[in-house]
Amino acid sequence: VFSSAEKEYLNKMIASIEDSSSVQIAAVMLSSIGKEKPKAFTSELFQKWKIGQSDKDNGMLILTLMDQRRTEFEPGYGLEPILSDVICNQIGRQKLVPYFKKKQFGTGMIKAVAAAVGVVAVQVAEGLA
């Protein structure tokens, strides 16, 4: 779904926030997970991949399921105060949805990751993350 340029840009953003804050973000798009429940699948994948540092639980998984037209945000407990459900919902509605409606999936994911990175960067600058 992502072009090579979009993948490269996403990877650079993700590496940059990890370098500056130790926060790890994974952005994934899957065509289908069959009959599995999206939230449960996202939580299981987050745990399986061990996103974030174990002592800080500071990872975030953004998972889009193409067939269900659904995106799940799964922050670790250490990021929940920074990337709350409300913030993640806003990111989804304001950054993903407008681009996904135009079938610009890579751009939508880039905008969503950039928004999450921006929230984390502000917290790091303020010494809160």
Q: What is the pLDDT of residues 102-124, one digit of tens each?
A: 999 999 999 999 999 999 988 87
Residue 126 pLDDT class (50, 70, 90 cuts): confident
Task: Report percent pLDDT > 90 for the chain.
Answer: 88
Whether pLDDT at 74 is above 80: yes
At 102, is the secondary structure helix, strand, or coil? coil
pLDDT digits (tens, 9 = 90+) for 27-45: 999 999 999 999 999 999 9
pLDDT at 127: 66
Please answer whether residues 92 and 73 qualify as being in contact, where contact means their C-beta atoms are separated by less than 8 angstroms.
yes
| pTM of the predicted model as reported, rounded to 2 decimal places | 0.92
pLDDT at 47: 96
Residue length of the chain = 129
Q: What is the CA angle 64-102-11, rounded to 5? A: 45
Could you give phi then psi for residue 65, rounded to 5 degrees? Answer: -110, 110
